[in-house]
Amino acid sequence: MDAIDVIVTKREGRELSGEQIAWVVDAYTRGAVADEQMSALAMAILLNGMGRAEIGRWTEAMIRSGSRMDWSALDRPTTDKHSTGGVGDKITLPLAPLVAACGAYVPQLSGRGLGHTGGTLDKMESIPGWRASLSNDEMLAVLRAAGAVVCAAGDGLAPADKKLYALRDVTGTVESIPLIASSIMSKKIAEGTGALVLDVKVGSGAFMKNVDTARELARTMVELGTDHGVATVALLTAMDRPLGLAVGNALEVQESVEVLAGGGPSDVVELTVRLAREMLATAGVNGPDPENALKDGSAMDAWRRMITAQGGDPDAALPVSAESVEVTAPASGVLSRLDAYGVGLAAWRLGAGRARKEDAVSFGAGITLHAKPGDTVRQGQRLMTLHADDAGRFERALGALDGAYEIGQATGPDLLPLVIDKITA
């Protein structure tokens, strides 16, 4: 095989063969294909797209670049959830133990935040003692003890994706739906779970800004999962406003615990329960209803077992920021808009996120919301509280919020429904 021949095939809009795809992904992972050549191929894929069979072959090649996990030793079905990311999206935290409490095993491999979207591992690491890095044997032990595990993916899982994603990030090819779908699904399929529910976010705070492109991505990923023998469904969910009332690592852990205790913001509870039901149904588990598991304490019990099994202390105090500033309503009326991206950017500037993968995060930093779109507010009323360890961060965070919210007359805001659509095979 020759890299130039593969590039030209896709540049001319022709379909790549299985042999071409298997060779080029393997050769790039080994270093036999140069970054310049793979970046040219990625651009050709972005411009000319891929058919369903091509994307499937590409995803299979990514999976074969590393190891594939096996949960056949477990005595109950496995199911997992993947979110494309958003602002205040802490759903994995209450969801994993909730589904475990209802009768399925949840092996949840998660990532860290970058930019304005938060990362599940960063949130969990705000819990004193909790460990993200586990061996496969440790994951199995936690699953057997708690029913759910949330941890980092090992280096052996789809290593081709890690290398290719870094290249796409610096060559303007991140937006290719075939490459996005294969990136997500190669890791999820290699994870070995029997069922998968995808939460594809839509709106200003999400990667997908409109419903049509989000639906295309969701459909592509559902097809990939189905073609690889993983029962897969996707929900399109709203990210035009923040999810819940907390944005930031320790703040979101606290809100998740409130949900597990039977309280919490209504949108977080609603989406957590809906996703739990989808995960259980997709896995073929007919157990207790998730709503009841939140009320009777069984989900909280599973959370405490999971945190303890990973070295954390579920009773320990969470980090609190050293400084805070309040943002108040400039006028009376209805909060008609609260832009998810603006809030996420502000939280990032407060220290809750990172600009580079090597950066540290401030666990106590973030934003507490005191009103959501549709709420009636009075002039001078608190809209949000900003938290940071360094008071010098407030000016830039407030700049990110300039124009991110509006107060209008007593009419309801034009918001996306929390769950927009469901995509099945």
Catalytic residue annotation: 82, 161, 168, 183, 187
The residues, any chain, with a CB within 8 Å of residue 244's CB and separated by 6 or more, are 88, 90, 252, 255, 264, 265, 267, 268, 369
Biggest alpha carbon distance in the chain?
A: 68
Report how far apart, in Å, the C-alpha atoms of 195 and of each of 39, 53, 130, 233, 392 are. Answer: 33, 21, 27, 9, 46
Q: Which two tokens stand for residue 413?
A: 């805001």
Q: How far apart are CA 115 and CA 93, in angstroms?
A: 20
Non-local CB neighbours of 163 within 8 Å, separated by 6+ positions? 28, 29
Asked whether 131 and 149 are in contact (CB, 8 A), the reply is: no
Q: Which helix (H) or strand (E) holds 337?
A: strand 333-338
Count other Cβ atoms within 10 Å, centred on residue 4: 11
Per the CB < 8 A criterion, the answer to whether 389 and 349 are in contact is no
Distance CA 341, CA 266 (A): 21
Instruction: List CB contacts of 123: < 8 A, sequence separation 6 or more.
Output: 90, 93, 249, 250, 252, 253, 256
Copy the structure tokens of residue 49: 């797209």
Helix (H) or strand (E) holding 75: none
Determine the residue type at 344. G
Nearest to 186 by CA among 57, 285, 76: 57
Vertex 168, ends 167 and 170: CA angle to 5°? 70
d(Cα 156, Cα 109) in Å, to the nearest integer?
Answer: 13
Distance CA 249, CA 113 (A): 10
Query: Positive or negative, the Cα torsion across 353, 359, 360, 362?
Result: negative
- Sign of the torsion angle spanned by Cα atoms 48, 53, 57, 58: positive
Contact 144, 22 (CB under 8 A): no
Residue 318 CB: number of other CB atoms within 10 A?
15
